[in-house]
């Protein structure tokens, strides 16, 4: 048993050494900002996962007597209009924001990849049809379209997720299609086709792996914009419903107290800013190592 564990540990160490000394890792850390992005995202992820353990208070627990208290050791980021601990609400909010960002990005990724793959590989009228759909989608300002969708569906976080998901897949579709168009004419794909490999297998085993790098980069940078979009929609009342501790909602409530309780708006505002910055830096870093030839912006921001 112990011998088995030692084997696993040794393997992990070897893997760690390989990663640490690899050219990819070196390329990533060559720019210190990439490391900053990684650290920010890592800290936020830890905060999101372990938020309920770290948070000193229940995020919805009210204490009206101690409302609008400035930051103190007991309340590191002060208290809000209902005496709730702002730090605890931010930690719980991290779970929500990151969870939504991952879910929305996953939906966009799957939807956009499937459409792009289909359009690029099948071609013909289907390609025309799907790409015009992409053009239509990209013709609308993303956040405005999301606002319309969320407005029609009604205020809730679930509807915000849907709204953001349906407006952001087109960038993925375009990226995947262009990659598939160039890859499908290469010799190894032709060879696979001549060997009688099925179209589905060619698509999954030969075409998709070639676009994974740019997709990961786009998805990483997308996480930041989704967080920004969620906060924006919640800020105007279309997202989280009270008392849900969501960053955009907290920012909205805090804006009325900018003078006498600066921490109310600044704490969630700074957190949103740091989070988006973190994902953008991380995305840039990943692009450096996964898509080094790229020099155009991958993403149409929402």
> What is the smallest separation between the CB atom of 251 and other proteins, expressed in angstroms?
14
> What is the smallest separation between the CB atom of 64 and other proteins, expressed in angstroms?
4
Q: Which is nearer to other proteins, 99 or 243 (CB)?
A: 243
> What is the smallest separation between the CB atom of 187 and other proteins, expressed in angstroms?
60
> What is the smallest separation between the CB atom of 154 and other proteins, expressed in angstroms?
7
| Residues near other proteins, by CB under 8 A | 60, 62, 64-65, 67, 81-82, 154-155, 237, 241-243, 253, 255-261
Q: Which is nearer to other proteins, 2 or 65 (CB)?
A: 65
Q: Which is nearer to other proteins, 102 or 253 (CB)?
A: 253
Q: Which is nearer to other proteins, 80 or 288 (CB)?
A: 80
> What is the smallest separation between the CB atom of 54 and other proteins, expressed in angstroms?
23
> What is the smallest separation between the CB atom of 90 and other proteins, expressed in angstroms?
17
Q: Which is nearer to other proteins, 62 or 210 (CB)?
A: 62
Q: Which is nearer to other proteins, 37 or 254 (CB)?
A: 254
Three-state secondary structure of the chain: CHHHHHHHHHHHHHHHHHHHHCHHHHHHHHCHHHHHHHHHHHHHHHHHHHHHHHCCCCCCCCCHHHCCCCCCCCCCCCECCCCCEHHHHHHHHHHHHHHHHHHHHHHHHHHHHHHHHHHHHHCHHHHHHHHHHHHHHHHCCHHHHHHHHHHHHCCCHHHHHHHHHHHCCHHHHHHHHHHHHHHCCCHHHHHHHHCCCCHHHHHHHHHHHHHHHHHHHHHHHHHHHHHHHHHHHHHCCCCCCCCCCCHHHHHHHHHHHCCCCHHHHHHHHHHHHHHHHHHHHHHHHHHHHHCCCCCCCCCCCC
């Amino acid at each position: 048993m112990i011998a088995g564990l030692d084997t696993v540990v040794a393997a992990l160490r070897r893997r760690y050494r390989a990663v640490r000394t690899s050219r990819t890792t070196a390329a990533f850390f060559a720019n210190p900002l990439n490391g900053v992005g990684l650290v920010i995202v890592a800290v936020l992820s830890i905060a999101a996962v372990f938020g309920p353990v770290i948070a000193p208070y229940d995020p919805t627990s009210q204490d009206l007597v101690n409302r609008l208290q400035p930051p103190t050791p007991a309340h590191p980021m002060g208290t809000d209009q209902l005496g709730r601990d702002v730090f605890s609400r931010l930690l719980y909010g991290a779970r929500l924001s990151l969870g939504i960002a991952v879910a929305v990005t996953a939906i966009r990724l799957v939807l956009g990849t499937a459409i792009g793959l289909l359009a690029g590989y099948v071609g013909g009228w289907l390609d025309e049809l799907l790409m015009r759909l992409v053009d239509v989608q990209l013709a609308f300002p993303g956040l405005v379209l999301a606002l319309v969708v969320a407005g029609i569906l009604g205020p809730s976080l679930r509807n915000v997720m849907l709204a953001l998901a349906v407006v952001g897949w087109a960038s993925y579709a375009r990226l995947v299609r262009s990659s598939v168009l160039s890859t499908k004419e290469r010799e190894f794909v032709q060879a696979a086709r001549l060997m009688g490999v099925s179209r589905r297998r060619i698509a999954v085993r030969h075409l998709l792996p070639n676009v994974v790098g740019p997709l990961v980069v786009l998805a990483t940078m997308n996480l930041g914009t989704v967080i920004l979009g969620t906060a924006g929609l919640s800020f105007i009342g279309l997202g989280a419903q009270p008392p849900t501790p969501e960053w955009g909602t907290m920012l909205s409530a805090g804006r009325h107290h900018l003078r006498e309780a600066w921490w109310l708006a600044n704490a969630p505002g700074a957190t949103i800013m740091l989070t988006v910055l973190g994902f953008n830096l991380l995305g840039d870093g990943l692009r450096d190592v996964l898509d080094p030839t790229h020099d155009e912006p991958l993403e149409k921001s929402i």
